[in-house]
Amino acid sequence: FSGKKVPDMSFLECRLETGRTHQIRVHLSSHGNPIIGDQIYGKQNKFIRDIDPKFKELLDGFKRQALHAKSIGFVHPTTKKEIEFECEKPKDFENLLKTIKKLKF
C-alpha cells in the first residue's frame, strides 16, 4: 500500500456510560473518525475517497462494522445480581487488525 494513500487509523477501547443506540458510531463519526465498515455513519467521510485501491479492496472485503463488544454486563432483573459476559474478538476482526498492523505508515 502507498503510505500517502492509507488513512490514519486507531484501535480504541471505549467504555459506554449511557448505552445509547449507536453511541460509539455516532460520536466517532462526528469527530471524523468513522468505524471501518460502518455503512450508515461512516460512508460520508472523505478519507475513503483518495485511498490506495488495494487498501480500499481490503476495507470493502470486511463485510461488517469493525466493532466488537469485549464484555457486556447488566443487573439481572430478578436476582438483582450483576452479570457480565466476555467474548474474544472474532476471527475476521483479528485478521483485519493483523493486516492493518503490517502497514507501514
Q: Report whether 26 contacts 41 (CB < 8 A).
A: yes
Residues 59 and 36: beta-carbon distance below 8 Å: yes
What's the pLDDT band for 89 if we cut at 50, 70, 90?
very high
pLDDT-above-90 percentage for the chain: 26
C-alpha cell at 41: 455513519
Q: What is the pLDDT of residue 77?
A: 95
Please state whether the predicted TM-score (pTM) of the whole model is above 0.85: no
CA distances from 32 to 8, 11, 43, 52 (A): 11, 15, 11, 19
* Residues contacting 16, CB < 8 A, separation 6+: 23, 24
Q: What is the mean pLDDT of residues 44-58?
A: 68
**54 CB contacts (<8 Å, ≥6 apart)?**
1
